[in-house]
Amino acid sequence: MRRVLILGGTAEARALAAELTERGVPVVSSLAGRVATPRLPAGEVRLGGFGGPDGLAAWLTEAKIGALVDATHPFAAKMTASAVEAAERTGTPLLTLRRPGWREGPEDDWRRVPSLEAAAALLAAPMRVFLTTGRRSLPVFTGLPGVWLLARSVDPPESPVPDHVHVLLARGPYTVEGELALIREHRLDMLVTKDSGGTMTTPKLDAARRSGLPVIMVDRPPPPPGLRQVDTVRAAADWAQG
């Protein structure tokens, strides 16, 4: 039975590791280590980056990996590109596991944009914004005069944080009632988020709909051409098991 490397950090990656472990498939989950206290998956775990496609290709060979599953975040385009290149170099079968993106409903008020920069360009004073695009994206939005930000992230952003930014440290899953309370408490009038998909953070979208809050939705980066992709853990597990 081939040994499987999961490039993880998502709920789907943890579920896949649990499923493969239960099936008796030898699995290694790789976590980038960007979160201070990550939720560890079942089976063997590797923390830290590989050093680009060269390092990943070398590790695939050294660890005798028979299959590679990219189950990283939908916006981890650099890691996906490294996985594609390393898999091609080593001849390792590669599959991408991506949860479906979110779809706008008839009562939603969304503006889809291709990038964080395009999202920031739509913000203008006076505006109070609920920003849920991750701590690393904060610099893109901090130079906007008259725009106040409630920036939610798992770990603190790098200092210094500007006066017009209030950082809320929290980890999902969230509730609609909790998101509605945030909108009311901070008098928010715009939500900026990324099309991450999944159910853990959908309450913010439900709360925005119920509050009549407009949403700026940053689209996912396009996948590399020819990439084999599935959107369920079971499909990924069946493929990885061979």
Q: Residue 73 corresponds to which tokens in the numbers above?
A: 């975040």
Confidence of residue 113 (pLDDT cuts 50, 70, 90): very high
Tell me what pLDDT residue 1 has.
82
Return d(Cα 107, Cα 199) in angstroms, integer.
Answer: 19
The CA-atom distances, in angstroms, between 157 and each of 102, 162, 183 are 26, 11, 22
Give the other-Cβ count within 10 Å of 185's Cβ: 9
Tell me what pLDDT residue 36 has.
62
Vertex 55, ends 16 and 230: CA angle to 5°? 30
Q: Where are the beta strands (DSSP E) in 103-172?
A: 110-113, 127-132, 147-153, 165-169
> Who contacts 8 (Cβ-Cβ below 8 Å, separation ≥6)?
14, 16, 17, 29, 30, 31, 41, 71, 72
DSSP H helices in the chain: 11-22, 52-62, 77-90, 116-121, 138-141, 176-185, 203-211, 233-241
Instruction: Say which range, 65-74, 155-164, 204-213, has the weakest mean pLDDT.
Output: 155-164
Confidence of residue 200 (pLDDT cuts 50, 70, 90): confident
Whether residue 50 contacts residue 56, with contact meaning beta carbons closer than 8 Å, is answered with: yes
Task: Name all domains of the chain by residue range, CATH numbers in brackets.
Answer: 4-100+221-241 (3.40.50.720), 110-218 (3.40.50.720)
Confidence of residue 170 (pLDDT cuts 50, 70, 90): very high
